[in-house]
Every structure is written in structure tokens, then in C-alpha cells.
Amino acid sequence: MTESWTHAVRRQLGLGRLLPLGGARDGAWIAEAAAGELLRRAAREVTGVHPGPLRLGPAGPEGAEESSVPLPPSALPPGPLRLTADFAATAAVPLPDTAARLRLVLARAAAEGIGLAVTEVDLRVTDLLDAEEPPAPTAEAAVPAPARRATDADEKRAEAAALSVPGVTRLTGALGGLGRAVHIEERQDGAALAHRHVRVEVAVDAGHRALDTARRVRAAVADALPDHPTVAVLVTAVD
């Protein structure tokens, strides 16, 4: 029991923070590790660049917005993001030109490939490499354990709806304990009537924009349940 709990905590920490996808009304997030792996793939396409550590965080507290759905554990609120990245490069191309190209590629990959609102990209050259020097190995993104099978009828409906969405490759269960991909809870907002909120964890295909897939999952899950609850989608891995 203790060992299993320890491994679960390590997996969750390995995912990093949950970054907002899209805007305040999108109700979707992606794990920092998954987003980072996609951005490093894009960076490797820049000639002479060997990407290193990469970090995503808020661009500033003044830009945060109120989410339309409850924030998942460890999730950042919607708002602009800052991307910081280290990289090594060869001298085959002047470093300012390489950095400019890398900044453009990372910004485009974040917006068009993932759906992150990155407004700042800060780069740091950490090493100058020989042209023939192979790239150093980089840490692989954390892989969430497969989700445990749902037992509740509505959880099963939500799982089936999420898996029916093009671009969803599997369900994951990295957050919230018990390894479940679907979490359904009752919420009471002040004097308003109680309502249900659903959180769904998925892995998506790298060929699909994470934000677009998450939006479709939200709609499918909400439509699959009779009370049409609010839905938050977490992309915890990219396959």
C-alpha cells in the first residue's frame, strides 16, 4: 500500500503543473511534462539546436482569469504563459539567428500545436557545440499509469464518451487518487442549487491539437450524462 502510494505521488510530481489550455471558458489543462515533450520535439527540428530543460509558468499575476469550471489540483488559472528554455547550439549559424528561429518555432508550436497562450519566450544558450556533436539525451516525459476501470454507471458513460472523441488515445488516472480517469463530485456554489462537476483525464494523439481534442471531450462527456454537468478535461500525456 505504502509503495503504491509513493509511486503514485512520484508520477503526479513528474507531470509538473497543469497548464491552462485556451482561455477561461475552455475548462481544459495539460500537464507541463506532456506540453514540454511536444515543445522539445518542435525545437529539435531547428537546425543546430539541442534543446535542454524547459519550463512553463504564468507570464504575470495580473493576467490570470477566473476559470468557468473549478480548478483541478495543482492547476494554474487561465491566463498568459511564459516559456523559458535552455538550449545548446552549433556555430554553423550565428547564435542570434538560431535563437530567433527557435523562439518562433516554440511560440508557434505552443499556440498552433498545443493551444497554450504563450506570450513570452525566454531563451538561454548553455553550450556551444561542434557541428558533428550528437545531441545530449533529454529526460522523457512522465507516463501516467493506465486508469482503473470505472465501477459507477455515470463514470462508465463519461469514460465511453471521452474515448469516442477523435484524438483521444486512452484514459489516464494520474491525479486525485485511486487511479481513476473520471472524477464526479457534487458542488454547491453559495445559495445556488447543487450541481455535479466532472473531471476527466486523457492522453491525446500528438497529431491532434490538444486544446481542440479537450474541447470535444468536454462536450461529449457533458452530453453523455443526463444532468449535463460542468466538465474539466486534463491532458496528462501525449502519445
* CATH of region 8-16+142-238: 3.30.70.1350
Mean pLDDT of 41-50: 92
- State pLDDT tens for residues 99-116: 999 999 999 999 999 999
Distance of alpha carbon 181 from alpha carbon 177, whole angstroms: 10
* CATH of region 31-129: 3.30.70.1350
Query: Residues with Cβ < 8 Å from 5, sequence gap 6 or more?
Result: none
Q: In b/e form, how buried is each residue of 4-28, taking b as 16+ CB within 10 angstroms?
A: eeeebeebbebbbbbbbbbbeebbb
- State pLDDT tens for residues 4-43: 433 444 455 578 899 999 999 999 999 999 999 999 999 9
Distance of alpha carbon 77 from alpha carbon 24, whole angstroms: 8
- State pLDDT tens for residues 125-166: 998 887 655 555 555 555 555 666 656 899 999 999 999 999
Query: Residues with Cβ < 8 Å from 56, sequence gap 6 or more?
Result: 17, 19, 32, 35, 36, 81, 82, 83, 84, 116, 118
Mean pLDDT of 82-109: 93
State pTM to two decimals. Answer: 0.85
The count of other CB atoms within 10 Å of the CB of residue 194 is 8
**Residue 105 has what pLDDT?**
97
Q: Where are the domains of the chain?
A: 8-16+142-238, 31-129
**Residue 40 has what pLDDT?**
94
Mean pLDDT of 80-97: 92
